[in-house]
Structure 1
Amino acid sequence: MDRLKAMQTFVRIVEANSFTKAAETLGLPRAALTATLQNLEAYLGTTLLQRTTRKLALTADGAEYLAHCTQILDAIDGAERRFRGGPEAPPRGTLRVDLPGAVGRNVVLPRIATFTEAWRDVKLTVSLSDRLVDLTQEGIDCALRVGALQDSSLVGRQVGSMRFVTCAAPAYLARHGTPQTIDALRQHQAIVHFSGRTGRPFDWDFQAGGENVTVQMKGQVAINDADANVICALQGIGITQAAAYQVRAHLDSGALVELLPETPPVPMPVSLLYPRGRMALGKVRVFGEWVGEVLAADKDMCMT
């Protein structure tokens, strides 16, 4: 068995999430890919993929082996490019990206044409979600995430940071008054934003006097969607803490009023996540560079 070819075949099957699609891209019969995978599993003494009539799923051993295969194949590709000489081939192929819903709709996708124009040989498959996506299992090359990263086998590279604003509708402030300090803020009603993954509410973190101050806000309404949070704030239900890009137009129109501008919320990091070794792929690298430029050019974001 040609182990290098078997690795390449295994990786292609996972990326395509289909034996048939992988066979088409490799120009081989489907039966040949099935035989290669069976021989590889027999050689390793473990099952790499669970196959059903509807989908493929990596086993725990399969996910670990995939990470090793990706590193090995990327290293070989890099070494060959170095010694072949000449310019590096432009990125090409399908790039599968997962974006947070609000960030994708409001920040990234409105500018996506600049990426497709610059990299015409890269085909984008974009999913919008706020759930905890398993990049390896779902065949996703990279994901954009906001906030502190959890420990995982993935690599995270910060590409920007996001500014937040504490604000409320004039109607709410007319009824309850305008808080002038963080301590006064604790007495007000908030629109609580909770995590759809854990069910826990997010604390509000402020920059005050060179220190970070954390406030646990309470309110009658709790929402797990960032855009819906702003919709509720516009109705005067309570104070919200939202990403600056989400409320910019409402602040400019007067529909929302910024509160405590001298003690702003702590910015959150925006990171690109990808499996180990995947950044060596040109299509992932250029997307990471591009999205970093998009965030840096947005006045409501912070540069890293």
Structure 2
Amino acid sequence: MDRFDAMRVFTRVVERRSFTLAAQDTGLPRSTVTDAIKQLETRLGVRLLQRTTRHVSPTLDGEAYYRRCLVLMADLEEAEAAFAGAKPKGLLHVEVQGTLARHFLLPSLPGFFEQYPDIELFMSESDRWVDVVREGVDCVVRYGQLPDSDMVARRVATLERITCAAPSYLKRFGTPTDFTKLDSHRMVGIRLSSTSALTPLQFVKDGTQHIVMLPTTMSVTGPESYLPAVRLGFGIAQLPYFHIQDDLKSGALVPLIEKYPPPTAPVSLLYPRNRQLSPRVRVFLDWAQQEFSRRADSMNRNITQL
């Protein structure tokens, strides 16, 4: 195994904190990965990794060498691609909320693969906040306000949200006309995966955001369960317009309190600040930004908030 291949193996072990997972990612036998790290440590004359039965982590020397490896590998990959005229290739791991993937990314992916046939896309779906380095994720697509982090966030769209409820709910509880008159109403709760905290309803009046917390009959953590619960009449909800366009047109859901809409929500692409981006990550980021920008207008009714 040459030096650059050994570097690639080493960086994957550091990021995955596991010889076994690094072997799976690189398609190599675990014994080959172990031998490559041993040979690397022998050649450098330092210990790069701390090993226990449950955990692998870089030493101080290993952390420093890992950062140098990222820069060197990215430079090599970019130089080879530039001189050979080669297109980006390799495995690309993207973490995305499933609703965004289905509405914004999947419809145009055939065109992406026509342009970059040697990229293998692994698209994992969740709403949780991932550790991109440890879990081997190249970039993340997220909807909504972002927590503080050391990630680079590139905003690619601003999406309108709608307050709504099912006709069956309104038949039982009445149709509210103002957010100050919701005392007798209920909401379908959406909970943060990280803390299980309920997300309140939000309304914007004269540029000021007002928070309303209602009792819940049912609460969920994912958008795929949230929308069916709203359709079944369990309460009032606030959903992105693109997700419920068909329900609003068919009358399955009814818009409420439209004079005071919820604040708009951003969509962001995130990636590690201290990692040199490979060509395949850069082309995906640029493509995804273009797709969100192209589709965002048709996914909103009439955004006035930014």
Whether TM-score is above 0.5 comes out as yes
Contact 1:96–1:125 at 8 Å: present in 2 too? yes
**Matching residue within 8, 24, 47 for 2:49:** 47
Aligned to 1:100: 97
Conservation of the 8 A alpha-carbon contact between 2:187 and 2:237 = yes
1:67/1:256 CA distance change after superposition, 3 Å = farther
- Distance of 1:190 and 1:63 partners within structure 2: 50
Residue identity in the other structure for 2:10:
F
What TM-score, normalized to structure 2?
Answer: 0.80
**SS in structure 2 opposite 1:228?**
helix
**SS where residue 181 of structure 1 aligns?**
coil
| 1:300 partner letter | M
Asked if residue 10 in structure 1 is aligned to residue 10 in structure 2, the reply is yes
Relative to structure 1, is the Cα distance of residues 63 and 126 closer, same or farther in structure 2, using a 3 angstrom cutoff? farther
Secondary structure (helix, strand or coil) at the match of 2:177 reads coil
Q: Structure 1: how far apart are the matches of 2:110 and 2:249?
A: 27
Q: Distance in 1 between matches of 2:152 and 2:246?
A: 35
Residue 213 of structure 1, aligned match among 178, 192, 210: 210
Q: Which runs of 4+ in 1 moved over 3 A?
A: 2-9, 12-17, 19-25, 29-32, 36-42, 48-52, 56-67, 74-81, 84-89, 301-304
Partner of 2:107: 110
Residues of 1 paired with 2:196 and 2:62: CA distance?
Answer: 28
Kindly state the Cα deviation for residue 7 of structure 1 after the two structures are TM-superposed.
Answer: 4.0
Aligned ranges for residues 170-181 of structure 1 at < 5 Å? 170-181=167-178
**Residues 63, 167 of structure 1: CA spacing in aligned structure 2 closer, same or farther, 3 A cutoff?**
farther
Q: Judge conservation of contact 1:156–1:274 (CA < 8 Å) in 2.
A: yes
Measured in 1, the distance between the counterparts of 2:184 and 2:50 equals 55
Question: 3-state DSSP class of the match of 2:198?
Answer: coil
Deviation at 1:151, TM superposition (A): 2.7
Match of 1:158 among 147, 155, 159: 155
Does the alignment pair 1:119 with 2:119? no
Distance of 2:270 and 2:197 partners within structure 1: 23
3-state DSSP class of the match of 1:248?
helix
- Cα distance in 2 for residues equivalent to 1:115 and 1:85: 20
Post-superposition offset of 1:248 = 1.1
Query: What's the CA shift string for 1:206-264, capped at 9, x where partnerless?
Result: 22212222222322211112121111111222111112222111001011011122222
1:198 and 2:200 aligned:
no
Tell me: CA distance 1:212–1:60, structure 2 relative to 1, closer, same or farther (3 Å): farther
Residue 300 of structure 1, CA deviation = 2.0
CA change 1:14–1:110 in 2 (3 A) is farther
Question: Unpaired runs of 5+ in structure 1?
Answer: none
SS at match of 2:157: strand
Taking only aligned residues, the RMSD between alpha carbons, in angstroms, comes to 3.6
Q: Kindly state the Cα deviation for residue 49 of structure 1 after the two structures are TM-superposed.
A: 6.3
**Compared with structure 1, are the counterparts of its residues 65 and 269 closer, same or farther at alpha carbon in structure 2 (3 Å cutoff)?**
farther
Identity percentage over the alignment? Answer: 30
Work out which of the residue numbers 113, 138, 147 in structure 1 matches 2:135: 138
- Contact map agreement 2:14 2:58 (CA 8 A) in 1: no
Contact 2:164 2:238 in 1 (8 A): yes
Q: Which residue of 1 aligns with 2:39?
A: 36
Q: How far is the alpha carbon of 1:106 from its aligned partner?
A: 3.9
Answer whether contact 2:6 2:37 (CA < 8 A) is retained.
no
Cα distance in structure 2, aligned partners of 1:255 and 1:37: 62
> Does residue 237 of the first structure (1) align with residue 238 of the second (2)?
no
Residue type matched to 1:200 in 2? A
CA shift digits 1:123-152 (9 cap, x unpaired): 111111222322111211111112222233
Which residue does 1:227 correspond to in 2?
Answer: 224
Q: Distance in 2 between matches of 1:154 and 1:63?
A: 22
SS of residue in 1 equivalent to 2:121: strand
- Aligned residue for 1:156, secondary structure, equals strand
Deviations 1:47-96 (A, max 9, x none): 266676xxx85458699547723652267449957xx9768642111111
Match of 1:285 among 282, 287, 290: 282
CA contact (8 A) 1:70 1:276 kept: no
User: Is 2:49–2:62's contact at 8 Å kept on the other side of the alignment?
Assistant: no
SS of match in other structure, 1:155: strand
